[in-house]
Structure 1
Amino acid sequence: MGRDEPEALPPPGRAEIRIVAATPDTARKVADVLRRCFAGGEQRSYPAPGGGTRLHLTVDTTHPAEPARSWLATSRPPSGTGPHAEEP
């Protein structure tokens, strides 16, 4: 695709993420954090200008990864847990 052509948007609920870092290890660490929050596809790694690394990752924001799902579930108060009638 040329620079003048518009980039295709990902499907609804998905996000394309591009990470540029000086080393592959740094880019992978960032991708690992994102994968803990969102389900994701395979990452693709390319050389970046200047000797760095460019990593492309697709995440699915409609399906949180396990730790995020656990956090969301525990952050909501269980039903029926308001103040008791005898409490002010």
Structure 2
Amino acid sequence: MDRNEPEALPPPGYAEVRIVAASPDAARMVADVLRHCFAGGEQRSYPVPGGGTRLHLTVDTAHPAEPARSWLAASRPPSGAGPHAEEP
């Protein structure tokens, strides 16, 4: 892909994650943590010029696993907590 071309966006509800690490094991450990939080597809791994690994992973943000679901729920404001329409 030419660096001047716009990168294709993943489908709605998905995120592309790129992990760059000095070793394949370090990249896999980070990918494993993400897989515990989000459903995801197969990872793709590439060598980095000069050493290291670049790992690409697609995660499904619409179906978070329990750790992410808990964090997402806690980070959202509670519904109905604001003033009613008739209140100033």
Q: CA deviation at 1:68?
A: 2.9
Partner of 2:24: 24
Task: Say which one has the larger Rg.
Answer: 1
Q: CA deviation at 1:64?
A: 1.3
Runs (4+) of structure 1 moved beyond 2 Å?
none
What is the TM-score of this pair, normalised by structure 1?
0.74
Q: CA RMSD in A?
A: 1.8
The letter of the residue matching 2:47 is P
1:30-84 residue CA offsets vs partner (Å, 9 max, x unmatched): 000000000000000000122100000000000113x437x63xx89xxxxxxxx
Aligned to 2:85: none
Gaps of at least 5 residues in structure 2 are 75-88
* 3-state SS in 1 of match to 2:50: helix
Give the equivalent residue in structure 2 for 1:41: 41
Tell me, in whole angstroms, the C-alpha distance in 1 between the residues paired with 2:39 and 2:22.
25
Match of 2:57 in 1: 57
- Count residues in correspondence: 72
SS in structure 2 opposite 1:68?
Answer: helix
What percent identity do the matched residue pairs reach? 76
Q: Does 1:14 align with 2:51?
A: no
Alpha-carbon deviations, 1:17-39, whole Å to 9, x = none? 00000000000000000000000
Instruction: Show structure 1 runs of 5+ residues with no match.
Output: 77-88
SS at match of 1:49: coil
